[in-house]
Amino acid sequence: MVKKSDEIWATGRRKCAVARVRVKSGSGKIEVNGKTMEEYFPVEALRGFVMQVLKVGNAEGKIDIAATLTGGGIAGQAGALRHGVARALVKMDEDIKSALKAAGMITRDSRVKERKKSGQPGARRRFQFSKR
């Protein structure tokens, strides 16, 4: 029989990025793909974007986060991590769901890149029209 751990798993998504997040009570250590968050997200704005969830959920310095990020770019991955951490916090404590929902952190941002159409240089861009 498998021993039940105190870890909580959640999945976050944004654009093409997927974040598999494990959250457990601890000292506030955040590990992303085997690196610290400062190494993985060198831009301060992206780190602040992820830390917003912990501030709103009042969990800063109280939980350890281990995440595996795949797909997309660095900004999409930061959004996916934020979404995954928010979902994990709701699983831990149902009372903070209203605060996170009001801040818009539980809702998945469904905007993805539009596909390129054939006969055009991009998704919406057209070749220049020539009457003659």
Q: What is the pLDDT of residue 3?
A: 52
**Which domains occur in the chain, in start order?**
8-102 (3.30.230.10)
**Alpha-carbon distance 70 to 72, whole Å?**
7
Average pLDDT over residues 1-18: 84
Q: How confident is the model at residue 6 (pLDDT cuts 50, 70, 90)?
A: confident
pLDDT in tens, 67-113: 999 999 999 999 999 999 999 999 998 999 999 999 999 999 999 99
- Lowest model confidence (mean pLDDT) among 2-16, 65-79, 107-121: 2-16
Strand partners, 31: 36, 66
Alpha carbon distance 55, 51 (integer Å): 6
Amino acid occupying residue 33:
N
- C-alpha span between 126 and 131 (Å, rounded): 15
For the cut 70, the answer to whether the pLDDT of residue 5 exceeds it is no
Q: What is the mean pLDDT of residues 50-57?
A: 93
pLDDT of residue 56: 93
Instruction: Please report which confidence band the pLDDT of residue 4 belongs to, taking 50, 70 and 90 as the band edges.
Output: low
pLDDT of residue 11: 97
What are residue 53's phi and psi, to 5 degrees? -65, -40
pLDDT of res. 2: 53
Q: Are strands 35-36 and 30-32 parallel, antiparallel or unpaired?
A: antiparallel
